[in-house]
Structures are given as C-alpha cells and as structure tokens.
Amino acid sequence: MNLSLKEVEPVTHTQLRLRAEQNHRSLNSEILAILEAAVHAQRIDVNEHVRKARVLRQKFVGTVKESELQSAKRAGRA
C-alpha cells in the first residue's frame, strides 16, 4: 500500500533524514520503522508497575539522606 505525507515541516523532515542516516536507512524505511513501532508499541500495565514498585519498596529498610540520593544519581549518570 502506498501512503504519502503532506505538509511536513522542514525541521521535521531534516530530523527524519538525519535519523534515517544514523540508522543506515532510507527516509522511507525510517518513517515506516517509526510508524510500525508506534502502532505495535506494547501497552504499559500501570497497575502491574505499581504492584512491582510496592514489592520493591517493601524490601527496602531504612532511610536515605538527600546527599546520598544525589550522590547515587551522579554515580548512575557517569
């Protein structure tokens, strides 16, 4: 099936073209990959994520100081 895009902003076109180059794809293939990923994206079960977070939280004992939290964040970004 053929599909055409109209009125694509120049900035968007440039970003798509650059993304296609980075992924070693044609512009058309990049757009198809983006569309397929969006259409077939896995739905997130929010309740399951909350349940898992609560289980993890129950395993944690103690308190964390703000300075320790900031230090861990910095270390995780390094």
Is the pTM higher than 0.75? Answer: no
* Helix 27-39 / helix 10-22 crossing angle, nearest 10 deg: 90
Q: Exposure pattern of 30-64 as b/e (b: 16+ CB <10 Å)?
A: bbeeeeeeeeeeeeeeeeeeeeeeeeeeeeeeeee
**CA separation for the pair 43, 68 (Å, rounded):** 34
Start-end of H helices in 1-78: 10-22, 27-39, 46-59, 66-77
Q: What is the pLDDT of residues 9-65, one digit of tens each?
A: 999 999 999 999 999 999 999 999 999 999 998 888 999 999 999 999 898 888 889
